[in-house]
Amino acid sequence: MEDASAALPEPLFQRAVGLLRELTAISSPSGDAGGLHQMAERLAGELRERGLTAEIREEPSTEAGRPLPVLYARGNPGTGASRGPLLLVGHLDTVLAATPPRLDGDRLVGTGALDMKGGLATLVGALDLLRHRGQAPPPDLLLVAVPDEEVGGELSRAVVRRWGETARALWVLEPGEPAGEAETIVAGRRGMVQWRLEVQGTAAHSGLHYWEGRSAVTAAARWALEAERYSHDQGGPTVNIGRLVAGDSSFVDHLDTAHALLGTERQLNVVPDRAVAEGEMRFLRPEDCGRMLKYLRELAEDVGIFSRTTVTFTTGPEIPPVNPEGPHAALCRRAVELAAARGWRLEIETDRGGISFPNFLPDPNRLPILDGLGPVGSGMHTRDESVSLESLRRRIVLLADLLAEDGCGAEPGHPYRSGP
């Protein structure tokens, strides 16, 4: 075991800190084509200096209404072309526009310092460290840095879908999480399906014809209460009732004006005939998805029969989960060992809730995924966002160790090769 600081020469570390400072000074909020360009150019220059082939492509974004830059950087693509690439993904955009970064003890406070310019600086630092050791990154390395991750953008999704189809592995430079003295990488990410429930009941005057009415409000409420009970903690699926709008159809179908009814006495004498509920279901195990949707659909049928209303349950596209026991389980454990050998503790996060790059893969359980490789910090997406420099140091060494093990060391003729 050794001290992490001994594994990374101080000048290389300071260079990475300096680069991160520069990257966070560039203002590149999602949608700011000029700033995103500047980020892409700056990063491309750094990667070229380290022997990668970098290009910036303008890719059309219907959401942004104009093309946005996507950065592609490759190792030595002439070799090892029989398999798909080792795909590394990151993003150039931030939520906020930049304010000047500053050092504060062990922290670099800056816009996107944590999410995720820190991850990009980690990669550049790892390439420096490999070169210093006379080692090479895997020749089939392909870094793709997208401009619209923070808005869940179409380019982020398209790029991961496209390159993830053939990639032999996916490594994600998003930050890990602090865990006491330890830090995490992410092995499991939840998948998600959005759903919609519509209930059509029968309206009636509640004074004169109460028993002729079929309340859509109570039918939808009954479904919602039961549906929520399918949620389980400890890695189980969860059902969130995001909203429930119900009342008589003139209210529900004309909310833009009918909201004025709220707080008045009007139409309280109507047994309500219309309800719409919308929400999502999240799940960690791939098999939970079909099972849960079957329950929710059957529940809709049962409620319809019981309440004598017409209940329709529909779902959107399935965003698949990353199974923590997927093909990357051994690689995650290896990362933990590599960190331990450098004197710090890395833990495996098996159940992260947010949707991120790996969820956009055509099949996240086909290939090994190392997620959360970037340094940890705090204040993500706030004005006090900061990254831990100690973590940056650790993560540079970890990423270099992982890349060195994944590749086969330096090969003849490669720019990283040192010595004879």
CB-based contacts of 122, cutoff 8 Å, min separation 6: 16, 173, 373, 374, 375, 392, 395, 396, 399
Q: Is 265 helix (H, G, I), strand (E, B) or coil?
A: coil
Q: C-beta of 187: minimal distance to Zn ion in Å?
A: 18
Structure tokens at 354: 């947010």
Q: C-beta of 42: minimal distance to Zn ion in Å?
A: 18
Can you list the alpha helix ranges (DSSP code H) found in 28-67?
33-49
Partner residues linked to 276 by β-bridges: 198, 245
Task: Name the nearest CA neighbour of 375 among 400, 393, 357.
Answer: 393
Backbone angles phi, psi at 200, to 5 degrees: -115, 115
Count other C-beta atoms under 10 Å from residue 82's C-beta. Answer: 7
Q: C-beta of 404: minimal distance to Zn ion in Å?
A: 26
Task: Measure the CA angle with vertex 189, ends 185 and 190; round to 5°.
Answer: 160
Q: C-beta of 113: minimal distance to Zn ion in Å?
A: 12
Q: C-beta of 384: minimal distance to Zn ion in Å?
A: 17
Q: C-beta of 149: minimal distance to Zn ion in Å?
A: 5
Cα gap 371→386, rounded to integer Å? 20
| Amino acid code (one letter) for 32 | D
Q: C-beta of 185: minimal distance to Zn ion in Å?
A: 15
Structure tokens at 253: 């179908």
Cα gap 196→400, rounded to integer Å? 46
For 157-217, the DSSP string reads HHHHHHHHTT-SEEEE-SB--EETTEEEEE--B-EEEEEEEEEE-B-EETTTSGGG-B-HH
125 contacts 396 by C-beta, under 8 angstroms: yes
Structure tokens at 178: 């602090």
Can you list the alpha helix ranges (DSSP code H) found in 69-116?
none
Output 116 or 197, the one with its CB closest to Zn ion: 116
Closest-approach residue to Zn ion (CB): 115
Q: C-beta of 326: minimal distance to Zn ion in Å?
A: 21
Output 27 or 309, the one with its CB closest to Zn ion: 27
Please give the residue ranges that form the binding site for Zn ion (CB under 5 A).
115-116, 174
239 contacts 231 by C-beta, under 8 angstroms: yes
Q: How many residues does the chain have?
A: 420
